[in-house]
A and B are shown apart, each in its own frame.
Chain A
């Protein structure tokens, strides 16, 4: 891979770069089409350089490595980009770690119930299962609807029907990794508010994709990846923990929360009572952030990526990503038909830049793991096109379904999307 240093002019400065110029900022493997940001993004050269530079700066000296490991400034900057405060933002190792620390920090007891979906990341389901085994909670799992014509109301209704008097938490992905369904986040949070529930959101795909006001979602917790759409280094993540009460966004009191894995949680006594107002009573994010020594370079590099996004403009980025996704969705619908789509399309509220589809003619190939695996492998080996395949339940079907999933990001362009979809159509035809 020949991308070890930034090309000339890679600094954005105060310019308003074109998308072609922005594409050049990324350390993309030459000759490939990267349509798999749903798994991992591509780092900009400046981020790579930050990792390298800061690692060297903090190697071999007698400096106090603990304060910078709290990432106080980085967290403040990143928090601001998402409409929240530093006391609510944690830089984690990844979305899984953040989700695990949230799930195990919830004040759940035997008999309490969590409503979630079968389309969650395994790390979400496994951590809730651990909690079930440990504390005797129960988990109600709904299977999200799939297909082009799914509407947001169906999803909200599904969750609402699953809530019982014992439900304490609803947990869902902001955007599902299997079918790329953008869940109606605000509406689900409002549903939770009406039932007095804690909301836990797997936001792995959110940072770097959406220009999101996290507070305005009304969620209690959002755990995110830093290495997918935000294009930070692998091993970076963000965690939003609601730490004050803004009734217009979430009128519920702050949930009892135990910041597991913490150096700064008091060794004796308790932290102050949680705030009931818009002013924090404590820095919950600090408790979570303080977990021994940290990779200073990792946090700095993630902050650099976030800074670049701020420079380009997050609204502009979201618009570009979605515009490319709509272009891809249209092309895929032309080539494969809307009936081949597992991702929603008719309801714009549910669209995301992750598009999952069934590439083959025969319906039964949708549950042929080997065929979809071959399809994706051949795209990579023969055409240097990176997509991935996903597997998930489909309501009412006895089969585990498999789909090809492509993802658009700002380093993609219309030409390569068209080219890739053309290749995919040809290969699917050949394999059908």
Chain B
């Protein structure tokens, strides 16, 4: 349906999401992925479905690749340690002149993940799977200073060293050779972080403002204006061809995103009035949540991060004590009160329901999940802190971030733990969270983060490997040789799913026993998200946190002024 779209064919989004970082290699599973999907393509991807429960919504399809490697097309051998990928012909960068996407761009994209600048949370997936990638990563870190590296240095390393498990046969064909059998390589290569990168990117430091101002597109749109002042416009990429893209469509002349610290209520009002079409970065108030029983995988959102690199929280007994104090039900009520229509459950384990290896686990039960300050106080005394503790908690300056921090700080106060809250802009917050040196320096003790599954199904590694392993999304720096060994065992057992799942579960139990983190809530957003009457058919991508697929959302056939007013339906 592409009827009269109203005054223009521009899709408008607004909300507290971030625009400062649109380098797909820096993807942290945030709302930016919704935008990078419009101008980056991966070897494999997901075709959004109107019903996200459809198996097709979570089954990777060829994107830049010509087909999914399988035994039928000689793309995978019996050992599942060698994947052959042929690129689809005639996909081009919007360079001048337009240039085909090649396997060299695929390799460059993966090499960029390994550098000292980005430290993307998804990197462990790749370094533990593709032969030679860990060595390339280690060599890269050793060769280039993380302090103010210049693009030339980075490009020199990348172009003078190879990842031995990436065999470029020619411009169109690449072989991925693996350290061990992996059944999820295709899903990994569908992550935004695995986007190919053109040679032009060698001139820029990954993730830098300069790079963000010079992004190249293979998708239906391309960023036109540098994302300054909280505003971004994507316009049609003239080089893109619909017949060469099985994943994305193009129904708009442009897509505009405006960063604004709006509450869910205000977002709902603007959507209802037609000022904007979709919320950006946080859901709008949802008065008609659709199908709350939708059986989709959940995210761990949020969880409490302990800085285990310094201070009292380096000790498991202290972490366990702190975890006991927290009233998770209060936090759940608080988030439910935002009215975003999300399905929310109190979390007591790391791997959320709907994901492989999820288990019913609650090693620190408290009545009604309201927390037990008395237990916290007693355990702290046992741990040598009879007079309580002073901790610093950082949180982003968003309403959910602020209210969550205040809530658990109040809980801890009841147990004699004094929490100093430090509010930071989201970009600064994540910069601090991801900087091990500043954690070691004790700049913070507590934080909150979230992690959503990057693929489904067969995603046993998705939570524990980045959250508990070396690097990745292990913001608190938790280390456990036992957990590391169990992660290795699970990864080595791809051919034995039952063994792998048992290892993941054991790893989770060990980490929970160590109180590596405190799971707070499991969450699944409302599907489909609230949208203006100008648009219809808002399919979501489960692998992108069930966010709206801006590449396939359509204009409604109803003229804007005749559409039912959202607020009238309350």
A residues near B, CB below 8 A?
Answer: 118-120, 122, 125, 129, 132-133, 136, 138-139, 367-371, 373, 391-393, 398-400
Contact = CB atoms under 8 A, between A and B. Distances in A.
The 9 closest A-B pairs by CB, nearest first: A400-B82, A400-B77, A370-B169, A122-B71, A393-B79, A370-B173, A118-B78, A369-B84, A391-B77
Contact of A399 (B71, B82, B495, B498): B82
Nearest to B177: A398
B496 A132 contact: yes
Main secondary structure of the interface of B (DSSP, over half): loop
Contacts of A125: 78
Given A132-B496, A368-B167, A400-B79, 10 more contacts: A119-B78, A122-B71, A122-B78, A125-B78, A138-B496, A139-B495, A367-B82, A370-B173, A392-B77, A398-B131
A207 B167 CA distance: 40
Contacts, number: 48
Contacts of B78: 118-120, 122, 125, 392-393
B497 A133 contact: yes
Contacts of A373: 74
B243 interface: no
B80 to A, nearest CB: 10
Given A122-B71, A133-B497, A138-B496, A367 B77 contact: no
25 contacts: A118-B78, A118-B79, A120-B78, A122-B71, A122-B78, A125-B78, A139-B495, A367-B175, A368-B167, A368-B169, A369-B169, A369-B173, A370-B169, A370-B170, A371-B169, A373-B74, A391-B74, A393-B78, A398-B131, A398-B177, A399-B82, A400-B77, A400-B79, A400-B175, A400-B177
B459 interface: no
A369 B496 contact: no
Interface in B71-107: 71, 74, 77-79, 81-82, 84
B180 to A, nearest CB: 11
A393 B71 CA distance: 14
B77 A136 contact: no
A123 to B, nearest CB: 10
A389 to B, nearest CB: 8
B88 to A, nearest CB: 16
A369 B83 CA distance: 11
B167 A367 contact: yes
A136 B498 contact: yes
A136 B496 CA distance: 9
A371 B177 CA distance: 17
Contacts of A136: 498
Interface in B487-528: 495-498
Contacts of B177: 398-400
A380 to B, nearest CB: 16
Nearest to A139: B495
A400 B81 contact: yes
Given A398-B131, A399-B82, A400-B79, A369 B498 contact: no
Contacts of A392: 77-78
Interface string B22-53: 00000000000000000000000000000000
A392 B71 CA distance: 12
Contacts of B498: 136
Interface string B120-132: 0000000000010
A136 B71 CA distance: 24
B114 to A, nearest CB: 19
A371 B81 CA distance: 20
A241 to B, nearest CB: 26
Contacts of A118: 78-79
A245 B190 CA distance: 55
A432 to B, nearest CB: 15
Contacts of B71: 122
